[in-house]
C-alpha cells in the first residue's frame, strides 16, 4: 500500500507546492530543498528534533552545526545521575573519494566554520524520521537517523545512493557526557580506554556515568585515537547571554568502505544489545508507520498540516524515569510542568487519537497533588514537585470537561475524576498553600507581592515582572467554570458538595463583574487587589478566558463583544496573542537578548501561540457569522503551517516577538503551542 502526500518545498522564504508523489516510508513530509543555494545563516536557524518517548532526544541544525548547548545526537534522560545528559554530542563524518575528503557535518570554532569551504547538504526531509541528502558532484549520499522508542538508543544510517566508484566513510564520535544545561571543558577525569565488541566498542568515560556502546551492522574498523577537540562555539547560547564554548572528547574513528547502493547503520546505546541492528531499524520504521496510519486517514482540507501536528504531539508524551506517562513541556530545556501539561493535554491527547493515554496522564497528575494543588513543575534531577501554581488544579478540571466532551462518558468522569475535583475545590474554598483562598465576595484571592502563581511568572533579579497577586482575571474565570461544572455533575448524579456551591457561584459572578469589569473602557482588568481595592487595568489576553471557557463568567453579549474587540484590536497577531498592548509604555516588542532582557519581555508584549485556542473559542461564541470567523481563523492556521519550517522543523515555537515580523523565540517545540493549534483545528472542523 502506498501513501500519497503533498510535499512542500521551502526555499528562501517562499512556499511552493510541488508535485505529489508516493513513498511508503513517508506519508506526509516536510522538505527543505536546494540547500546548497540557500543563505547559510538561514539554514542555521532551522533545527530538527527527534525524540525517544522517555524524555530523551536528538537535535541539531539541518547542516549538522550545533548552535545550542542543548543540541546532541544522543541526549538521554537517565536515572543515575538523574536528569537529561548530552552523551554523544555529534559526529564528524566525511567521505573520501579519489583521495579528496568531503565533510558532511560542520563545526563552529572561534572566527571560523570548519570545513571552511561550506557544506554539501542539498535537501533535508522530515517524514517518519529526519533524512539528509548530500550531493558532491555526481555522488549522492543519504544520512538518516532515528531514536528507538522507549530506549536510549540512536540509529544512524548512511546510504551511498549514487557514485562512480566506492568511497571511504569516516565517522568520529564526539562525547560530552554532561548535563544539558552545562558545558564541559578538557579534563583529566575522562577515561579514554575502550573495550572491543563485535563491529564496535564500549567506553566508560566517567565514574558514576553510564557506559556507551557503539556498533555497526556490517564490518567496519575502529581506530582508537583519543583526543580532545577544543572551543566548539554555540552561537544561540552567546546570543542568549550564556557561556557558549565547549571542548569535546573524541575516542577514535570508524572507517568503512561503501560501494554504490551500500549502506551502514551505527547503533549508539546505553545498553549492550544482541539484536541485529538492521532488524532494529526495520522494527522502528514499522512502529512509526503503524502509528501514522490512523492519522494519515485525515482527509479534510488541512489534512497534511494536521498529520504533522499529530506527529509533533507525540514528541511531548513520554514515560518519565518513574515509567509513568507524562507530558514534557518543551524542547530543549523544559521538563514536566503541571500547568503546561494540563493546558496541553486536550490537544495532544484528546484531539489527537490518544484518549487512553490522556486518561492515564490525568490519573498520574492527580496522584501528585498536595492540599488540592497540582505541582507547577517537576524537577528533572529528582522528579520532586514544586507547588507554586494557583491555576494548575483549575486547568485540571477543565481537562476533565474536555474529556467528557470527547468521550461523552459521564460515568467515566464520576468514577475516576469526581473525587479529585472535589478535593481540589474543597481545598481552594477552605484555603490552602500560597495564600490561595476564597475572599469574602467569593473570588479566589492568591499569593502576595513576592509570589508568581499564574502562568505569567517571569522574574528579573528575583522581582516579579508582572505581579499578579490578589484576584487575577483568568484564575477567577477558571474558578467559576470549575464550580459550575462540579454543580452540573452533582445535580446529574445526586452528589453532595462540601459547601453551598449555588451561593458561591452567584457571589463570584457578581464580584467578578463589580471588581474586574471596567465600564468606561469595555474590557476586563487583569487583576483586582482586595487589600487596596485597586485593579490593574493593563490590556492583557487573560480576559479571554472569561468568554472561552465552557461556563463563561461573562454572559452579557455587549461585554463579551467589548472584550473580544479590545483583544482583537490590540493583542492579536498572525502567530498568537500579545501579552500586553503595544499602547502600554511597558510594552516590549522584541523577545531577544540576555536572560534578564528576555524575561523582561516574556509577558510584556511577547506573543504566545497557545492563547489562540481560547481566542478562537471565544470568537466563535461572540461573532454571529461563524463562516467569516472560521475564514479569519484559517488564515492564522495558514501562518502556523508556514512556520513549520521557520525554526523547529515540523514544530511550533514557544513564543514570537510582539513586533513584526514576529520572529520566533524561546523553545523550538512547545507542547501547549502545538496542542492548542490542534484544538483550534478541531474547532474549525466541528
C-alpha cell at 537: 487595568
- Which H or E element spans position 395? helix 392-407
User: What's the confidence (pLDDT) of residue 292?
Assistant: 80
Report residue 668: phi and psi, to 5°: -75, -15
DSSP letter (8 states) at residue 349 = I
**pLDDT single digits (tens) 179-222:** 999 999 999 999 999 999 999 999 999 999 999 999 999 999 99
Mean local confidence (pLDDT), 456-471: 94
**206 vs 33, 202, 673, CA distance in Å?**
41, 13, 38
CA–CA separation, 388 and 581 (whole Å): 27
User: What's the confidence (pLDDT) of residue 480?
Assistant: 98
Mean local confidence (pLDDT), 4-8: 29
DSSP letter (8 states) at residue 351 = T
Give the pLDDT band (50/70/90) at residue 26: very low
Q: Where do we find the cell 452540573?
A: 488
Mean local confidence (pLDDT), 240-245: 96
| Whether the predicted pLDDT of 117 surpasses 90 | no
Report residue 434: phi and psi, to 5°: 60, 35
Domain chopping of the chain, boundaries: 1-25, 34-276, 573-686
Mean local confidence (pLDDT), 325-354: 97
Start-end of H helices in 462-610: 473-493, 501-516, 545-548, 557-570, 595-602
Taken in order 205, 211, 212, 218, the sign of the CA dihedral is positive
| Whether the predicted pLDDT of 559 surpasses 80 | yes
Lowest mean pLDDT among 1-5, 52-56, 194-198, 592-596: 1-5
Degrees to nearest 5, angle at CA 514 with 509 and 518:
120
**pLDDT single digits (tens) 127-147:** 999 999 999 999 999 999 999
User: What's the confidence (pLDDT) of residue 202?
Assistant: 97
Interstrand relation of 30-32 and 4-11 (parallel, antiparallel or unpaired) = parallel
Give CA 149 to chain center in angstroms.
Answer: 18
Mean local confidence (pLDDT), 615-628: 91
DSSP string covering 92-121? EEEEEETTEEEESS-EEETTEEESTT---E
| Cβ–Cβ under 8 Å, residues 394 and 482 | yes
CA–CA separation, 515 and 524 (whole Å): 9
Nearest to 145 by CA among 95, 105, 107, 116: 105
| Cβ–Cβ under 8 Å, residues 343 and 611 | no
| Whether the predicted pLDDT of 655 surpasses 80 | yes
Nearest to 600 by CA among 485, 464, 501: 464
**Torsion of Cα atoms, 424 then 426 then 431 then 432, to 10°:** -30
DSSP letter (8 states) at residue 504 = H
Degrees to nearest 5, angle at CA 402 with 400 and 406:
115
| Whether the predicted pLDDT of 258 surpasses 70 | yes
**Contacts of 489 by beta carbon, 8 Å cutoff, 6+ apart:** 410, 413, 414, 418, 421, 495
**pLDDT single digits (tens) 473-512:** 999 999 999 999 999 999 999 999 999 999 999 999 999 9
How many helices (H) and strands (E) in the chain? 17, 41
CA–CA separation, 541 and 423 (whole Å): 29
| Cβ–Cβ under 8 Å, residues 535 and 529 | yes
**Contacts of 402 by beta carbon, 8 Å cutoff, 6+ apart:** 345, 346, 350
Nearest to 41 by CA among 15, 65, 19, 71: 65
| Cβ–Cβ under 8 Å, residues 389 and 453 | yes
DSSP letter (8 states) at residue 249 = E
Mean local confidence (pLDDT), 528-540: 96
pTM of the model: 0.94
Report residue 294: phi and psi, to 5°: -65, -40
**pLDDT single digits (tens) 272-325:** 888 899 999 999 999 999 888 765 455 455 678 889 999 999 999 999 999 999
The number of CA neighbours under 13 Å toward the Cβ of 512 is 30
C-alpha cell at 488: 452540573
Mean local confidence (pLDDT), 79-105: 95
CATH class of 34-276: mainly beta
User: What's the confidence (pLDDT) of residue 297?
Assistant: 52
CA–CA separation, 34 and 515 (whole Å): 58
Amino acid at each position: 500500500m502506498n501513501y500519497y502526500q503533498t510535499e512542500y518545498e521551502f526555499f528562501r522564504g517562499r512556499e511552493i507546492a510541488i508535485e505529489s508523489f508516493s513513498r511508503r516510508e513517508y506519508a506526509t513530509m516536510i522538505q527543505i530543498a536546494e540547500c546548497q543555494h540557500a543563505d547559510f545563516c538561514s539554514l542555521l536557524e532551522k533545527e530538527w528534533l527527534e525524540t525517544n518517548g522517555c524524555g530523551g532526544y536528538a537535535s541539531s541544525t539541518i547542516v549538522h552545526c550545533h548552535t545550542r548547548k542543548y543540541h546532541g545526537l544522543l541526549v538521554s534522560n537517565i536515572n543515575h545521575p538523574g536528569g537529561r545528559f548530552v552523551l554523544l554530542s555529534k559526529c564528524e563524518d566525511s567521505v573520501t573519494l579519489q583521495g579528496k575528503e568531503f565533510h558532511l557535518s560542520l563545526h563552529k570554532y572561534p572566527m571560523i566554520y570548519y570545513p571552511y569551504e561550506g557544506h554539501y547538504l542539498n535537501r533535508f526531509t522530515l517524514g517518519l524520521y529526519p533524512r539528509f541528502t548530500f550531493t558532491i558532484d555526481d555522488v549522492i549520499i543519504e544520512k538518516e537517523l532515528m531514536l528507538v522508542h522507549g530506549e536510549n538508543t540512536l540509529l544512524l544510517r548512511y546510504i551511498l545512493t549514487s557514485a562512480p566508484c566506492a568511497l571511504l566513510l569516516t565517522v568520529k564520535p564526539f562525547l560530552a557526557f554532561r548535563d544539558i544545561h552545562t558545558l564541559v571543558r578538557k579534563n583529566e577525569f575522562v577515561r579514554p580506554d575502550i573495550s572491543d565488541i563485535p563491529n564496535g566498542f564500549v567506553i566508560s568515560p566517567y565514574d558514576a556515568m553510564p557506559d556507551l556502546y557503539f556498533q555497526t551492522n556490517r564490518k567496519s574498523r575502529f581506530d582508537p585515537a583519543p583526543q580532545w577537540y577544543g572551543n566548539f562555539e554555540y552561537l544561540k547560547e552567546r546570543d542568549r547571554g550564556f557561556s557558549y564554548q565547549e571542548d569535546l572528547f573524541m575516542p577514535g574513528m570508524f572507517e568503512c568502505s561503501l560501494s554504490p547502493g551500500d549502506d551502514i547503520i551505527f547503533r549508539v546505546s546505553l545498553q549492550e544489545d544482541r539484536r541485529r541492528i538492521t532488524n532494529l531499524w526495520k522494527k522502528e520504521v514499522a512502529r512509526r508507520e503503524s502509528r501514522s496510519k490512523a492519522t494519515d486517514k485525515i482527509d479534510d482540507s488541512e489534512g497534511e498540516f494536521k498529520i504533522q501536528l499529530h506527529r509533533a504531539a507525540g514528541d511531548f508524551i513520554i514515560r518519565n524515569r518513574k515509567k509513568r506517562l507524562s507530558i514534557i513541556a518543551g524542547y530543549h530545556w523544559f521538563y514536566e510542568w503541571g500547568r503546561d501539561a494540563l493546558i496541553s493535554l486536550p490537544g495532544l491527547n484528546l484531539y489527537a487519537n490518544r484518549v487512553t493515554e490522556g486518561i492515564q496522564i490525568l490519573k498520574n497528575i492527580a496522584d501528585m497533588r498536595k492540599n488540592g494543588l497540582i505541582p507547577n513543575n517537576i524537577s528533572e534531577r529528582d522528579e520532586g514537585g514544586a507547588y507554586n501554581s494557583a491555576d494548575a488544579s483549575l486547568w485540571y478540571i477543565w481537562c476533565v470537561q474536555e474529556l467528557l466532551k470527547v468521550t461523552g462518558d459521564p460515568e467515566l468522569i464520576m468514577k475516576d475524576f469526581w473525587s479529585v475535583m472535589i478535593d481540589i475545590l474543597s481545598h481552594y474554598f477552605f484555603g490552602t498553600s500560597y495564600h490561595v483562598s476564597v475572599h469574602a465576595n467569593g473570588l479566589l484571592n492568591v499569593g502576595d507581592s513576592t509570589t508568581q502563581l499564574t502562568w505569567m511568572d517571569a522574574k528579573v533579579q528575583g522581582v516579579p515582572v508582572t505581579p499578579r497577586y490578589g484576584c487575577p482575571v483568568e484564575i477567577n474565570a477558571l474558578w467559576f467554570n470549575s464550580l459550575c461544572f462540579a454543580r452540573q455533575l452533582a445535580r446529574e448524579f445526586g452528589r453532595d458538595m462540601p459547601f453551598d456551591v449555588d451561593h458561591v457561584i452567584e457571589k463570584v459572578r457578581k464580584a467578578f463583574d463589580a471588581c474586574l469589569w471596567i465600564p468606561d473602557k469595555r474590557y476586563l482588568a487583569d487583576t483586582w487587589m482586595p487589600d487596596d481595592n485597586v485593579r490593574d487595568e493593563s490590556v492583557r489576553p487573560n480576559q479571554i478566558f472569561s468568554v472561552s471557557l465552557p461556563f463563561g463568567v461573562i454572559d452579557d453579549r455587549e461585554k463579551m463583544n467589548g472584550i473580544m474587540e479590545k483583544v482583537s484590536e490590540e493583542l492579536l497577531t498572525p502567530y498568537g496573542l500579545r501579552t500586553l498592548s503595544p499602547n502600554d509604555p511597558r510594552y516590549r516588542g522584541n523577545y531577544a537578548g540576555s536572560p534578564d532582557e528576555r524575561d523582561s519581555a516574556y509577558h510584556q508584549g511577547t506573543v504566545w501561540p497557545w492563547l489562540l485556542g481560547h481566542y478562537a473559542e471565544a470568537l466563535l461564541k461572540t461573532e454571529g457569522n461563524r463562516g467569516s470567523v472560521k475564514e479569519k481563523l484559517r488564515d492564522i492556521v495558514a501562518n502556523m503551517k508556514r512556520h513549520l519550517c521557520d525554526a523547529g522543523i515540523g514544530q511550533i515555537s514557544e513564543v514570537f516577538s510582539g513586533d513584526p515580523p514576529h520572529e520566533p523565540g524561546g523553545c523550538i517545540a512547545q507542547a501547549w503551542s502545538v496542542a492548542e493549534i490542534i484544538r483550534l483545528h478541531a474547532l474549525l472542523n466541528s
